[in-house]
Amino acid sequence: MEDRKGSTVVVNKVLAPKPYDLLADQLREAILGGDISEGDALPTERELVEQTGLTRGSVREALKLLASEGLVQTRPGRFGGNIVTLPGKVEIANSLSRYVRGRRLPLRTIHETRDVLEPALARLAAVHRTAKDLETMAHLHQQLIDSVGDFQKFSRTNLRWHTAVAHASGNEMLVAALEAIAYGVAVSTTIDEYDTPETRQQVIRIHAEVMAAIEAGDGQLAERRMRQHISATHARVSDVEADVPMSDDE
């Protein structure tokens, strides 16, 4: 009779998912898949407990998880409840901003991002801009001219102008990417190397050229002029090596 040897197979520890994760997964898929529409109310906590057999604590954790992802908003009152929402530009921008802040990205990274992003935004703006977009850019451009003697105000207006060009592109994902690094952009254009009357006049001139290309609907020209603008900006501060804070609370 043969002796049976013990098995040498190693079985890994089985990690079962938490109940609230399973419920959150199910609700998330229903929301993103369109089975539950934005603005609809989810079943109440009591109804979810009855339907799933989970504890109220697990149901609440699932709802908290979805709320942190921007998929559910709790509204108080008689006609409130857990209302389905969909992530928007603000949520995307906040998520990207947390990434760049947490990583303490250097100024060089901000420059490289702008080198890729802003010329493309200008090109798209030339294609998709509306009369309102053109009016907004022109208004901010005049404010830029009026604030040429006030460097801090000039820098804030400059950032708002670049953001207006981004919005004119009609691409919310790219707008969110620019807004995520907006404070870093502001910091990079308020250092001493950027603070000269000559530089401000150059900015005003190239902004006017970019706007003219956008208004004419010439995407290639708008892209080329914005690339020249961003490259010139970065050349002025190329010797600066610093970590750029991503919000004014740092």
- Residue 124 sits in a domain whose CATH number is 1.20.120.530
Here the tokens at position 48 are: 């979810």
> Is residue 24 located within the same domain as residue 142?
no
Whole-angstrom distance, CA of residue 215 vs CA of residue 209: 10
> Is residue 117 located within the same domain as residue 80?
no
Model pLDDT, residue 213 = 98
Handedness of CA 226, 227, 232, 238 (dihedral sign): positive
Model pLDDT, residue 7 = 63
Task: With H, G, I as helix, E, B as strand and everything else as coil, classify residue 198.
Answer: helix
For residue 56, being part of any structural domain is answered with yes
Whole-angstrom distance, CA of residue 33 vs CA of residue 26: 10
> Is residue 94 located within the same domain as residue 124?
yes
Listed in sequence order, the residues at least 6 apart from 164 whose beta carbon sits closer than 8 Å to its beta carbon are 133, 136, 137, 140
> Is residue 26 located within the same domain as residue 78?
yes
Model pLDDT, residue 226 = 96
For residue 9, being part of any structural domain is answered with no
Domain boundary among the residues 41, 57, 84 is at 84
Domain boundary among the residues 38, 60, 84 is at 84
> Is residue 107 located within the same domain as residue 135?
yes
Query: Are 242 and 106 contacting, i.e. CB atoms less than 8 angstroms apart?
Result: yes
**For position 70, which CATH number holds?**
1.10.10.10
> Is residue 145 located within the same domain as residue 95?
yes
**How many C-beta atoms surround the C-beta of residue 77 within 10 A?**
6
Whole-angstrom distance, CA of residue 98 vs CA of residue 246: 8
**Residue 40 lies in domain:** 19-84
Beta strands in 20-95 (DSSP E): 72-75, 81-84
For residue 221, being part of any structural domain is answered with yes
Model pLDDT, residue 102 = 79
> Is residue 101 located within the same domain as residue 191?
yes
**How many C-beta atoms surround the C-beta of residue 196 within 10 A?**
12
Task: With H, G, I as helix, E, B as strand and everything else as coil, classify residue 89.
Answer: helix
For residue 3, being part of any structural domain is answered with no
Task: With H, G, I as helix, E, B as strand and everything else as coil, classify residue 87.
Answer: coil
Helix (H) or strand (E) holding 80: none
Domain boundary among the residues 84, 105, 138 is at 84
Task: Please compute, for residue 94, the number of CA atoms within 13 A of its CA located in the half-sphere on the CB side.
Answer: 8
Model pLDDT, residue 97 = 75
> Is residue 79 located within the same domain as residue 136?
no
pLDDT in tens, the chain (250 residues): 555 565 677 888 878 889 999 999 999 999 999 999 999 999 999 999 999 999 999 999 999 999 988 899 988 876 668 999 988 777 777 777 778 777 877 778 888 888 999 999 999 999 999 999 999 999 999 999 999 988 889 988 999 999 999 999 999 889 988 888 876 666 666 665 566 888 889 999 999 999 999 999 999 999 999 999 988 877 766 544 444 443 344 4
> Is residue 162 located within the same domain as residue 73?
no
